[in-house]
Amino acid sequence: MPNLKDTFYLILLSFFYTIDLYVSFVEILKKIPAFTVNLSFNLEPIYAIILAYVFNESKEVNASFYIRLFFYIMLSVVLQSIISLRKNKLFCNFALLL
């Protein structure tokens, strides 16, 4: 069981990592489009793979892995863009009907 000091630190950390970061996230969304923020979150595994390659931790994957990964990423970005454009166009067409 955590003692009083540990409980204090847990509450402090939970405050910082939940409330403060959520408020920061909302402030960022005011300046950056949600699509860009979502895309950057979805690319986090790619950043990890690049860092693993830089620090020579990617010994068990070969070139075909990186080629397939590149095509999957490009496909997801293109599909997300198409979906966003269609939703925006649908919204604009609906607004014109009103």
Which pLDDT score is estimated for 89? Answer: 66
- Tens digit of pLDDT for each residue in 46-73? 888 888 878 877 677 777 877 888 888 8
Q: Are 37 and 28 spatial neighbours (Cβ–Cβ below 8 Å)?
A: yes
CA 43/CA 73 separation, integer angstroms: 8
Which pLDDT score is estimated for 7? Answer: 92
Say whether pTM exceeds 0.95.
no
Give 2's contacts (C-beta < 8 A, 6+ positions apart). Answer: 10
CA distances from 96 to 87, 91, 93 (A): 14, 9, 5
- Tens digit of pLDDT for each residue in 3-34? 899 999 998 888 888 888 888 888 888 888 88
Q: Which two tokens stand for residue 43?
A: 């690319």
